[in-house]
Homo-oligomer: A and B are copies of this chain.
Amino acid sequence: MSKKRQLLIDTALTLFYSHGIHGIGINEILKVSGVAKRTLYSHFTSKEELLLAALEARHHVFIQWLESKLSNAKNDLEVATQLFESLADWFDNNEPLLGEFRGCFFINTCGEYSDVSCEIRQLCEQHKSKVRQVIADKISSDNQTCVATLSILMEGAIVTAQVSGKKALLIEDCINASQAMLH
């Protein structure tokens, strides 16, 4: 992997994430990264291809982060608490790996693309599917409902933190709801 290529992906990810895809032009990405336009188009055929690369990069970073955060949970309740407490750290910008919190990059991206069958949307869907899988792998019970509920609470927490501001109560509620579900 070329150094410039990685720099372009990183810069695109940061800018797309914070200003939306259509809110950021190619020229802005070039200016911020300091890479020449010719170089960009030797690595990517279009803006969309750069976006796809950025989505994939974010996917890998996020999944790796999530797996590490849940790695030492010893039972289902610990999975839940560690999940939501890690999210709280993200919301409070205490997770350098994930950068400044601006909601979920994949949710934000879906808001800008209406065609559900396009490659971009499919990548977003696959990411969410993988996130659920990571949680499922840590849940000992074969109860599929538990995984689904945790995922829904997770999405709700992310969106609420983004739109309504980050609150300590939010995470408490998620953990309480998890406890109620796990009897």
Contacts and interface: CB of A to CB of B under 8 A. Distances in A.
A40 to B, nearest CB: 20
B159 A159 contact: yes
Contacts of A23: 22, 112
Given A22-B23, A107-B111, A156 B151 contact: yes
Interface in A144-183: 145, 148-149, 151-160, 162-165, 169-170, 172-174, 176-177, 180-181, 183
Given A148-B173, A165-B125, A177-B181, A159 B112 contact: no
B111 A20 contact: yes
Contacts of A111: 20, 103, 107-109, 111-112
Main SS of chain A's interface residues? helix
A62 to B, nearest CB: 14
A93 interface: no
A69 interface: no
A128 interface: yes
User: Which of A20, A104, A108, A109 has the most B CB atoms < 10 Å from its CB?
Assistant: A20
A125 B177 CA distance: 23
Contacts of A181: 176-177, 180
Interface of A: 18-23, 102-104, 106-114, 116, 124-125, 128-129, 145, 148-149, 151-160, 162-165, 169-170, 172-174, 176-177, 180-181, 183
Of all A-B residue pairs in the complex, the 5 with the closest CB atoms, nearest first, are A156-B156, A108-B111, A22-B22, A152-B156, A20-B112
